[in-house]
Amino acid sequence: MESKEKADQMTGFSDTGPAAVGLYPVGKDRGCYKGGSVFAGGDNVNKAGTQKIETDRLILRRFRLEDAKDMYENWASDPEVTRFLTWPPHASVDVTKNLLADWIPRYEDGGYFNWVMEYKETGKAIGNISAVKLNESTHAADIGYCMSRAYWGQGLMPEALIAVMDYLFDVVGLNRVAACHDVNNPKSGRVMEKAGMKQEGILRAAGKNNLGICDEVWHAMIRSDRKK
């Protein structure tokens, strides 16, 4: 792929391109969670795509259509989960199925990073972590995530975020991994801190989610942080 424009056209993640079925909305804002963007690659970047990653309690893997039921029941239909996100809760499992049907073909592109979190103990799909924005010139990714309420408070998302960051630095070869949260959603900030990201600053009125316009708190880890 030669340009970001071309990548955006392929994935619908451009400002003007077709939205991803309008469910995990995509577009201009840097919103905290959009379900995946695509990376066109470049020097020193390995377009390894969404490969399986195993942690103590989780398997991070590609979505399958069969995940629709778990995804809908466990997190995508829950307004408490989507409160600080940019997309509305799914109204039916068909909405979730359509979204997965849109996402799954994107795995053919090695610049697409979008994992379902499978809880090893039960084999259930419990959440999602993905690169929501990628910058090929700076070799940087912004990450978004969300998870079933039943699993909150066990350190599972920090576990997933650490594993995804390791993958993006060590396998893909990125130089920067960042994430943001609504200033009123500090528990997401805790995930970033626990995963070793540093807080960089607050962009006032820079984001928009289901609660309206919000101040965004940005955290990041850069490659040189990891040597310390």
Residues that bind ligand COA (CB under 6 A): 32-33, 81, 84-85, 145-147, 152-158, 181, 185, 187-188, 190-191, 194
123: how many CB neighbours lie within 10 A of its CB?
Answer: 9
Residue 12 to residue 200: CA distance in whole angstroms: 29
Name the minimum Å distance from CB 44 to ligand COA.
Answer: 29
Name the minimum Å distance from CB 179 to ligand COA.
Answer: 7
Closest to ligand COA by CB, 10 or 178: 178
Name the minimum Å distance from CB 13 to ligand COA.
Answer: 18
Three-state DSSP state, 116: strand
Tokens of 53: 């990653």
Closest to ligand COA by CB, 1 or 165: 165
Residue 210 to residue 204: CA distance in whole angstroms: 17
Name the minimum Å distance from CB 82 to ligand COA.
Answer: 7
Name the minimum Å distance from CB 33 to ligand COA.
Answer: 6
Three-state DSSP state, 198: strand
Closest to ligand COA by CB, 68 or 117: 117
Residue 15 to residue 17: CA distance in whole angstroms: 6
Closest to ligand COA by CB, 85 or 164: 85
Q: Which residue is nearest to ligand COA (CB)?
A: 153
Closest to ligand COA by CB, 32 or 164: 32
Three-state DSSP state, 191: helix
DSSP-based helix, strand, coil % in the chain, nearest 5: 30, 30, 40
Amino acid at 139: H
Bridge pairing between strands 114-119 and 198-209:
unpaired
Name the minimum Å distance from CB 103 to ligand COA.
Answer: 18
Closest to ligand COA by CB, 6 or 149: 149
For tokens 């990653």, the residue is 53
